[in-house]
């Protein structure tokens, strides 16, 4: 099962995961990164690289992150705001470039305030 990126990445986007991904399947929105499920080879290299533990396997999703599995797929399968077509499977984020747009879920996401200032 492919991997996905959940809420802890919103407004953090460390991008260490993009540096270790051997197939370049992690794309950059405006507030969050997204893993293309059609391009992911399930190697798991991205998961330990994430400093905020935002990456999980879709098969082992925590209940509070289930919405992000669906939303991660939507990023590629449905047209994003101000785009006429879906991103689909362009074959790599380096060549495609920064998307700079998020899904409606992420664009409107309000982060919870926590003691560390996040």
Enumerate the domain spans of the chain: 3-100
| pLDDT tier, 75 (very low <50, low <70, confident <90, very high otherwise) | very high
Q: How far apart are CA 52 and CA 99, in angstroms?
A: 22
pTM: 0.91
Name, in order, each residue with C-beta under 8 angstroms of 114's C-beta and a sequence gap of 6 or more. Answer: none
pLDDT, tens digit, 9 for 90 and up, residues 15-46: 999 999 999 999 999 999 999 999 999 999 99
What is the SS3 assignment for 36-47?
Answer: CCCCCCCCCCHH
Class for domain 3-100, per CATH?
A: alpha beta
pLDDT, tens digit, 9 for 90 and up, residues 87-109: 999 999 999 999 999 999 999 99
User: Among positive and negative, which fits the CA dihedral 53, 72, 1, 17?
Assistant: negative
The closest of 88, 81, 82 to 34, measured between CA atoms, is: 88
């Amino acid at each position: 099962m492919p991997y996905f990126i959940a809420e802890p990445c919103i407004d953090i986007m460390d991008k260490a995961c993009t540096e270790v991904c051997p197939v370049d399947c992690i794309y950059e929105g405006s507030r969050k990164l997204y893993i293309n499920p059609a391009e992911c080879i399930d190697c798991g290299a991205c998961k330990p690289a994430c400093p905020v533990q935002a990456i999980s396997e879709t098969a082992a999703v925590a209940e509070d992150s289930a919405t992000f599995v669906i939303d991660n797929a939507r990023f590629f399968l449905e047209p994003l705001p101000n785009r006429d077509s879906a991103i689909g499977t362009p074959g790599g984020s380096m060549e495609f470039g920064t998307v700079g747009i998020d899904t409606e879920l992420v664009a409107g996401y309000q982060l919870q305030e926590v003691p560390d200032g996040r």
